[in-house]
Amino acid sequence: MNARIEKRDNSLLVPENPVIPFIEGDGIGKEITPAVREIIDAAVRKAYEGRRAIEWREVLAGEKAWRETGSWLPDETMTLLRENLVAIKGPLTTPVGEGIRSLNVTLRQTLDLYACQRPVRWFRGVPSPVLHPERVNMCIFRENTEDIYAGIEWMSGSDEAKKFYRFLSEEMGVSKVRFPDTSAFGVKPVSVEGTERIVRAAISYALDMGMPSVTIVHKGNIMKYTEGGFKKWGYALAEREFGDKVFTFSRYESLRKEHGEQVAAGALSEARSAGKLIIKDIITDAFLQNSLLKPEDYSVIVTLNLNGDYISDQLAAMVGGIGISPGANINYVTGHAIFEATHGTAPDMAGKGIANPCSLLLSAVMMLEYLGWTKPATMITESLEMVFTQGYATPDLANMVTGGKALTTNEFAQRLITML
């Protein structure tokens, strides 16, 4: 019998045959989505010998929805996504001049998917621009709803921009705007609740997965109240809610000030030996450098929206780029989650049957893990590594390595299925 996934008492209740809505996606979405569903179905069948199976249910969004219903994001789609909690989605074209800024942003905002989760690891055989990609094993938690990305901004020369400037200068005493007549303005909201829920998600994930540290990445040295607040509230939450399971660098600092370097270092080393999760922080620019030079120092990263956008792509590039980087947008409180390809519709290769399905596939693997179906998830990642090690890949990756054997999207999917 088919059934809905539900969230009850803080945990996800997953039936043996859950209904999972999928958005096929535009452009290469038509090629990668069926391939990914086929691989997932094969792995689930093999892992559970037919006792479990996903009941896929197509929901419309993007160009296909526009063609068939005259709406880019029909109400029925939103209802089904809301009711079924967990969904997967191919890339969508951003409509130009249709009143919707971006379908992805609309989905995230409507379902309040506040955590953008991006695991970054390297698969043997995948070309990488860094010397030691095997040292990269991180998971980014990017806050999805606040920051300068909240979409609160006014165009240069507009009445709103002028009014906003008048407010700044007359009521707030701001005299630092260098060229007020031509300035555009943006607002950067960062709240205690917004910070706490993303930091809580990152720490819970690190503890569940047995990862060694959580790093708060911020520009609090310059933006003291917004990004500085993020760091301060993050540390406070870690100490208040996770107590003995963690050791924070804010505690390290207070020990150092009170009792000196030696005592603080002793407490840190004791916490490490006791297997406590270390919570530390770093300024964003230093992180961008250090993550290239010493990626092994970082495991779970928690950061604000804009920082997270830059960091995700840099780390993705270190292990093979967007064609292979998965992602998910999650609300850990309601349970709503959309697992998605992190790249776009790739109009330059659509229709050729050569798109890399791995970004969507690894997002689907994250979905299986989210459902607690870890066996098929592991089978897929292990098989993927074997396929890459043998030199097989879609042309975007195969053409970058000597001896690489290029396969079409479908050939790649079939080879992976035979490896399961």
* Residue 258 in tokens: 């009170």
* Catalytic residue status for 298: no
Of 114, 147, 149, 392, the catalytic one is 149
Residues 412, 28: Cα–Cα separation, whole Å = 15
Q: Is 118 exposed, middle or buried (0-12, 13-18, 19+ CB in 10 A)?
A: buried
Residues 219, 303: Cα–Cα separation, whole Å = 10
State the nearest-atom distance from the C-beta of 151 to ligand NAD, in Å. Answer: 16
Residues in touch with ligand NAD (CB under 6 A):
28, 91-94, 104, 322-323, 340, 343-349, 355-356, 359, 396
CB closer to ligand NAD out of 96 and 172: 96
Q: Which of 230, 269, 234 is nearest to 250 (CA)?
A: 234
Residues 112, 338: Cα–Cα separation, whole Å = 11
269: helix, coil or strand?
Answer: helix
* Catalytic residue status for 149: yes
State the nearest-atom distance from the C-beta of 348 to ligand NAD, in Å. Answer: 5
Of 224, 285, 294, 352, the catalytic one is 285
State the nearest-atom distance from the C-beta of 303 to ligand NAD, in Å. Answer: 19
Residues 40, 417: Cα–Cα separation, whole Å = 9
Q: What DSSP string runs through 292-313?
A: HH-GGG-SEEEE-HHHHHHHHH
Residue 23 in contact with residue 92, Cβ under 8 Å? yes
The residue with its CB nearest to ligand NAD is 344
Residues 338, 117: Cα–Cα separation, whole Å = 10
State the nearest-atom distance from the C-beta of 352 to ligand NAD, in Å. Answer: 10
* Catalytic residue status for 147: no
Residues 241, 365: Cα–Cα separation, whole Å = 29
Instruction: Please state the φ and ψ torsions of residue 336, each to the nearest 5 degrees.
Output: -60, 135
Strands, DSSP E only, in 68-143? 86-89, 115-121, 137-143
Residues 91, 104: Cα–Cα separation, whole Å = 9
Instruction: Please state the φ and ψ torsions of residue 353, each to the nearest 5 degrees.
Output: 70, 25
State the nearest-atom distance from the C-beta of 287 to ligand NAD, in Å. Answer: 23
Decide the pairing of beta strands 19-23 and 55-58.
parallel
State the nearest-atom distance from the C-beta of 99 to ligand NAD, in Å. Answer: 15
Residue type for position 96: V
Residue 411 in contact with residue 394, Cβ under 8 Å? no
Residues 289, 359: Cα–Cα separation, whole Å = 25
* Catalytic residue status for 309: yes
State the nearest-atom distance from the C-beta of 26 to ligand NAD, in Å. Answer: 7
Of 309, 310, 313, 375, the catalytic one is 309
Residues composing the chain: 420
CB closer to ligand NAD out of 28 and 366: 28
State the nearest-atom distance from the C-beta of 79 to ligand NAD, in Å. Answer: 21
* Residue 97 in tokens: 């001049």
- Residues with a catalytic annotation lie at 149, 219, 285, 309
